[in-house]
């Protein structure tokens, strides 16, 4: 063998695949299912993570200062708060600023127009490094003398954290199981072809074909099953994601969640599907032909 006869191996692999239409169909089906489940959970995890990051950057916890503190005393607390681990920054907001803010937020409510600043307290807007530690950081901030109350949006961030964690765990477990199942099915499909072709293999070996030459068509068969699966899974994933995303966008109750549009993710999704599909396909074919090819 001087060079790799791509056309020949490709053709042989393809005809192998169609010689067992049903088995190949089953192998493609299970691989598509594997990729879809993998893709769906990964996309959920990615979205949960993105929402979490958004919360992390936007959401702040608010620490209210004791009313008896003067403006200067209140501002002095800033360095104390910033010393607390996990606090990224603390921004002082005076009563007056808070009042303006409040009025701006409800411009249509004239009853707030002449709100007395003394009703509101001085406060710090605190950004955190890690939202997972919100609870602890909140407690630490509460310990600071002069801070009377801390508001944190714990429920929302905990929800996203849980979602992300569940999606990650389910994702890893399912991927592991499904990878093995699809590889097993592909491997059996290809074993069937090698069994069908045992006479041809014996003749190839007799006339002096190298192991590589004998193997390649089966590797291509696995590769093709993988590629077909990846393409189908990608299209299905696209449709599924689009449907779920528009469902969430149109729903008034899940306003809090923002969905990353598929157009921003299709390249990595396609790449991962293609990579995983090809890996499963070639892995399956290699396990199928490993044993039968002793000289």
Partner 1 sequence: MIRLTDVEMQYPNGVQAIRGISMTIEDGEFVFMVGPSGSGKSTIIKLLTAEVEPTAGRIMINGFSVNNIAERQIPYMRRTVGVIFQDFRLIEKKSVYENLAFAMRAVGSPSKTIKNRIGYVLELVGLENKARRLPSELSGGEQQRVAIARALVNNPNTIIADEPTGNLDPGRSLEIMTLLEKINELGTTMVVVTHEKDLVNRFSKRVVALENGKIVGDSTGFGYFGGAKSEKA
Q: What separation in angstroms does the CA of 198 have from each of 1, 142, 179? A: 21, 76, 28
Contact between 128 and 63 (Cβ < 8 Å): no
From candidates 144, 204, 227, 240, binder to partner 1 by CB under 8 A: 204
Supply the minimum distance, in Å, between the C-beta of residue 209 and partner 1: 4
Report, in Å, the least distance between residue 220 CB and partner 1: 15
- The CB-of-263 to partner 1 minimum distance in angstroms stands at 46
Q: What character string, x for contact with partner 1 (CB under 8 A) and - otherwise, covers 183-202?
A: ----------------xx-x
Chain positions 7 to 26 lying near partner 1, rule: CB under 8 A, are: 8
CA dist., res. 37 & res. 173, Å (int)? 11
Residue 200 CB, nearest approach to partner 1 (Å): 6
- Stretches 104-112, 161-169, 204-212, 253-261: which one binds partner 1 (CB under 8 A)? 204-212
Site string for partner 1, 148-187 (x = CB under 8 A): ----------------------------------------
Q: Return the number of the residue (19 or 287) whose C-beta is nearest partner 1.
A: 19
Measured CA to CA, the distance from residue 196 to residue 223 in angstroms comes to: 19
Cβ proximity to partner 1: between 162 and 203 the closer is 203
**Per rule CB under 8 A, count of chain residues that contact partner 1:** 20
Q: Do 55 and 156 touch, CB atoms closer than 8 A?
A: yes
Select 7 or 110, whichever has its Cβ closest to partner 1. 7
Is there binding between residue 209 and partner 1 (CB under 8 A)?
yes
State the minimum distance, in angstroms, from the CB of residue 291 to partner 1.
15
Where is 74: in which H helix or E strand?
helix 71-83
Give the closest residue to 179 by CA, choosing from 50, 274, 289, 276.
276
Euclidean distance between CA atoms 237 and 243, whole angstroms:
10
Our finding on whether 133 is near partner 1 (CB under 8 A) is: no
CB of 206 to partner 1, least distance (A): 6
Residue from 57, 70, 211, 251 binding partner 1 (CB under 8 A): 211
62: CB partners within 8 A, 6+ apart: 123, 124, 125, 126, 150, 151
How many other CB atoms are there within 10 angstroms of residue 63's CB atom? 26
The smaller minimum CB distance to partner 1, of residues 98 and 201, is found at 201
**Lookup result for tokens 């699809």:** 182
Output 112 or 213, the one with its CB closest to partner 1.
213
Q: Which of 72, 111, 206, 267 binds partner 1 (CB under 8 A)?
A: 206
Give the nearer residue to partner 1 in terms of CB position, either 13 or 39. 13
> Among 116, 207, 253, 267, which residue interacts with partner 1 (rule: CB under 8 A)?
207
Which residue number, 91 or 211, has a Cβ lying nearer to partner 1? 211
| Residue ranges of E strands in 24-157 | 61-65, 87-93, 123-128, 147-151
For 103, the enclosing helix (H) or strand (E) is helix 95-105
Residue 217 and residue 203: Cα distance in Å, rounded? 15
Question: CA 177, CA 208: separation in Å to the nearest integer?
Answer: 40
| C-alpha dihedral (262, 268, 270, 271), degrees to nearest 10 | 180
Binding site for partner 1 (CB under 8 A): 1-3, 5, 8, 199-200, 202-211, 213-214, 295
């Amino acid at each position: 063998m001087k060079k790799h006869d791509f056309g020949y191996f490709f053709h042989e692999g393809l005809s192998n695949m169609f010689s067992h239409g049903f088995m190949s169909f089953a192998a493609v089906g299970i691989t598509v299912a594997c990729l879809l489940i993998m893709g769906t959970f990964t996309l959920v995890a990615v979205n949960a993570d993105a929402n979490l990051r958004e919360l992390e950057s936007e959401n702040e916890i608010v620490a209210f200062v004791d009313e008896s503190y003067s403006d200067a005393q209140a501002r002095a607390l800033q360095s104390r708060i910033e010393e607390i681990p996990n606090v990224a920054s603390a921004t002082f907001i005076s009563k007056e600023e808070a009042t303006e803010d409040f009025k701006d937020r409800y411009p249509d409510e004239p009853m707030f127009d002449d709100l007395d600043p003394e009703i509101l307290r001085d406060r710090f807007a605190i950004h955190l490094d890690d939202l997972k530690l919100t609870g602890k950081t909140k407690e630490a901030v509460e310990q600071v003398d002069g801070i009377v109350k801390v508001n944190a949006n714990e429920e929302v961030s905990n929800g996203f954290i849980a979602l992300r964690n569940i999606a990650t765990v389910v994702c890893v477990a399912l991927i592991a199981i499904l990878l093995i199942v699809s590889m097993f099915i592909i491997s059996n499909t290809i074993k069937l072809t090698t069994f069908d072709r045992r006479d041809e293999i014996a003749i190839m070996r007799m006339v002096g074909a190298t192991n590589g030459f004998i193997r390649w068509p089966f590797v291509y068969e696995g590769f093709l099953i993988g590629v077909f699966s990846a393409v189908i899974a990608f299209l299905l994933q696209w449709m599924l994601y689009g449907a779920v995303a528009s469902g969430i966008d149109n729903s008034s109750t899940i306003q809090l969640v923002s969905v990353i549009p598929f157009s921003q993710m299709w390249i990595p999704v396609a790449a991962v599907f293609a990579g995983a599909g090809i890996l499963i396909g070639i892995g399956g074919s290699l396990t199928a032909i490993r044993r039968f090819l002793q000289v």
